[in-house]
Chains A and B, each alone.
Chain A
Amino acid sequence: MRRRRFLAATSALALTATVSSWRIALGQYALSDGQTAALLRMVRDIFPHDALDDTPYQAVVAQISGAAADASTYEMISSGLMTLDEATGGSWATQDEPTRVKALTEMQTTPFFITVRAMSLFGLYANPAIWPTLGYEGESYSQGGYLFRGFDDVGWLPEPAS
């Protein structure tokens, strides 16, 4: 069941289904402040972009926290974070980056890691707020496309013969 879930998590279809089910879930389970802080560290370590502040990462953590209102997801996140702590002698999130990454690498095939990675992937890279930092220009319709804004501005290659 878990294997099926994390495989499916890689498709946007599954993402939608998951988002819908979160909305149904009520907050019977809630991650602690310490757990959400560790999750923030984890999401940043999975997709580190130093030029980004915490805001887009916190948005991902909020989504994961919402998902953790579901008992089985709460259990998976809690035990995953606990395993990271145990692997690093108590407090994974306060270790230096190489130590944290080493512990994450050992976890990278677990449903816990794969779920957090998949949610981070869509949560971050579908978020228009981070696109300028990564060099992606996003929607162009409101600006009339690129016909007069550099669709052919590669000047370092010769013009194709027609």
Chain B
Amino acid sequence: MSTFDKTDDSVVVVIGSGAGGGTVAHELCEKGIKVVVLEAGPRLTIDDFHNDELAAYLQLTWLDKRIATGDWPAATLAPNAPNWIVKAVGGSTVHWNGISLRAQPHEFQAGTIYGNVEGATVADWPVTYDELDPYYSRAEDKMGVTGTHGIERHPANNNYKVLYNGAKRIGYSQISNARQAINSEFRDGRSACVQLGFCNQGCKMGAKWSTLYSEIPKAEETGNLDLRTGCMVLNIEHDASGKVTGVVYVDGDGNQQRQSARVVCVAGNSIETPRLLMNSASSLFPDGLANSSGEVGRNYTHHTGGITFGEFEKPVNMNRGITVPGAVFDEARHDPTRGFAGGYLMEAVSVGMMNFAVVGDPAGWGRDYTAYLGKYAHMAGVLLVGEDMPRAQNGVTLHDTERDQHGLPVPVVNVETHDNDIAMTDHFKGQADALLRAAGATSTRHVITVPATHNMGTCRMSDDASKGVVNSFGQTHDVKNLFVSDGSQFVTATTENPTLTIVALALRQADYIARQMTAKAL
């Protein structure tokens, strides 16, 4: 591990160490570029992880106050914790499921293909599937995605068997348990999965890809990485010409520091990234850094969500093994005859006892409810992951008066649900009921939506500087040496779990930054 001088203005500063930040940092280091990563959270090890929902939640979660507004369930059920995001080295690659899906080609042209969706800000991406294809392939190889690059898929666990058979019986044909960035055999220094369960609590086998133990240590081996943990960035500074020159942060000892930079990459997830840009407002950028478009903080998406549990006569023991072991893709297409734009996935999912009790009914109690909870071992779950509509009013703003421990305005996350999301969710509920009953369920229950783990948009891409914050490489239109390197870049949510796309975009961005630096354009 290297240490670079705080006045060294040749370094690239990357803020955040998750799927986007950790990947772009590693790639730049491999290209011989010096990188300082500033991570707000601690550096945990695999041994630190808990096979326990509550202990892991308290260990991993970004618990700084947020305020949820609007009509989404979080606004009433988790008004100060609407997003489940990790504050630790590795970011949300510590608690993600590992499911690694490419967005579909048509989803990059949602604006053209979906047409005008009233009350939504659907638009085309400035990058096509074909342009991203080689980066998807590199990402799959890097992450060790099963079903790609000759990597064996996992054997089917119980929960997946329910999903698969139910889906077959109601006429679905596109069902798969491949595309997991979870090792089915030893690969790239990572162990094989032994079906622990607890994928979301930090993989205690280290079988699941995470920048914590994949990208970051490799970047350190190059000698080009200076990783600083417990460092919360307060603002990004710029010179009179509008180029960023460095970042101001509070270190782990509570001391304010400044790191100079040649390039700054922001990868704090879709809440913290726009928040930092807004907190970096100046006389030159009065509405927030790189916000001449007014799009910073807007167009937030978090995927339609929800779980349907089915109860079976015989035990399923859904907790045994991979948390999201497979998915049905038949509803992922864009087919407006269903009454909504975009598509959704039906993913097998399990939760542990605590979350099972929390989500079953936000006000549930009494003998009916405990009878349901007592059937835990007989339950199988199906998760909705679908494309929700971006809207101008959905997103992140700064609270007028509330401040966090650093004196920074607390982020307000507003979501006003689009009718398209409701129509999609209703369609899912019908199909999930049918699927589970076809597999043998005697009853089903639609439970509340958990806090958002897929957080996208808020600094969207566009070729048009008046309609987006960044170009197709994540470079801000207003400040050429400032980049957004996480899911904030997404134009639309797409149907798929976002991590693989975030990694592919980060790989492409790193190539671009290195080219631009070589050409002295940065």
**Are A and B subunits of one complex?**
yes
List the interface of chain A (C-beta within 8 A of B): 4, 7-8, 10-14, 16, 45-49, 101, 104, 108, 114, 117, 121-122, 124-126, 128, 131, 134-141, 144-147, 149-154, 156-160, 162
Interface residue? B160 (CB, 8 A): yes
B51, A12: Cβ atoms closer than 8 Å: no
* Bound CA–CA A58/B78 (angstroms): 27
Give the bracket for the number of chain B residues in contact with chain A: 35 or more
* Bound CA–CA A132/B251 (angstroms): 44
* Bound CA–CA A138/B56 (angstroms): 13
Residues of A within 8 A of B370 (CB): 47-49
A11, B77: Cβ atoms closer than 8 Å: yes
Question: Given A16-B58, A16-B63 in contact, is the A49-B354 Cβ separation under 8 Å?
Answer: no
Interface of B is mostly: loop
Shortest distance in angstroms between A154's beta carbon and chain B's nearest beta carbon?
Answer: 4
Shortest distance in angstroms between A2's beta carbon and chain B's nearest beta carbon?
Answer: 14
Interface residue? B243 (CB, 8 A): no
* Bound CA–CA A125/B205 (angstroms): 25
Q: Give 4 A-B pairs besides A141-B205, A152-B157 with Cβ atoms closer than 8 angstroms.
A: A13-B61, A14-B81, A16-B58, A136-B376
Residues of B within 8 A of A153 (CB): 158, 317
Interface residue? B373 (CB, 8 A): yes
Interface of A is mostly: loop
Interface residue? B170 (CB, 8 A): no
Shortest distance in angstroms between A5's beta carbon and chain B's nearest beta carbon?
Answer: 11
What mask results when residues 360 to 380 of chain B are scored 1 for a CB within 8 Å of chain A, else 0? 001101110110011111100
Residues of B within 8 A of A126 (CB): 52-54, 353-354
A147, B81: Cβ atoms closer than 8 Å: no
B353, A125: Cβ atoms closer than 8 Å: yes
Which of B165, B194, B363 counts the most chain A CB atoms within 10 A?
A: B194
CB < 8 Å neighbour of A8 from B80, B317, B356: B80
Interface residue? B20 (CB, 8 A): no
Shortest distance in angstroms between B88's beta carbon and chain A's nearest beta carbon?
Answer: 16
B160, A46: Cβ atoms closer than 8 Å: no
B157, A134: Cβ atoms closer than 8 Å: no
Stretch of B6-14, B195-203, B263-271 contacting A (4+ beta carbons < 8 Å): B195-203
Interface residue? B57 (CB, 8 A): yes
* Bound CA–CA A140/B155 (angstroms): 18
* Bound CA–CA A122/B57 (angstroms): 13
Shortest distance in angstroms between A146's beta carbon and chain B's nearest beta carbon?
Answer: 4
* Bound CA–CA A140/B197 (angstroms): 8
B78, A10: Cβ atoms closer than 8 Å: yes
Residues of A within 8 A of B87 (CB): none
B374, A151: Cβ atoms closer than 8 Å: no
CB < 8 Å neighbour of A135 from B57, B155, B156, B376: B376
Looking across the interface, which residue of chain B has its beta carbon closest to that of A125? B357
* Bound CA–CA A94/B164 (angstroms): 51
A151, B79: Cβ atoms closer than 8 Å: no
* Bound CA–CA A147/B439 (angstroms): 23
A160, B160: Cβ atoms closer than 8 Å: yes
B61, A141: Cβ atoms closer than 8 Å: no
A160, B376: Cβ atoms closer than 8 Å: no
CB < 8 Å neighbour of B374 from A114, A135, A146, A160: A135
* Bound CA–CA A10/B77 (angstroms): 6
Interface residue? B254 (CB, 8 A): no
Residues of B within 8 A of A145 (CB): 193-197, 205, 321
Residues of B within 8 A of A101 (CB): 366
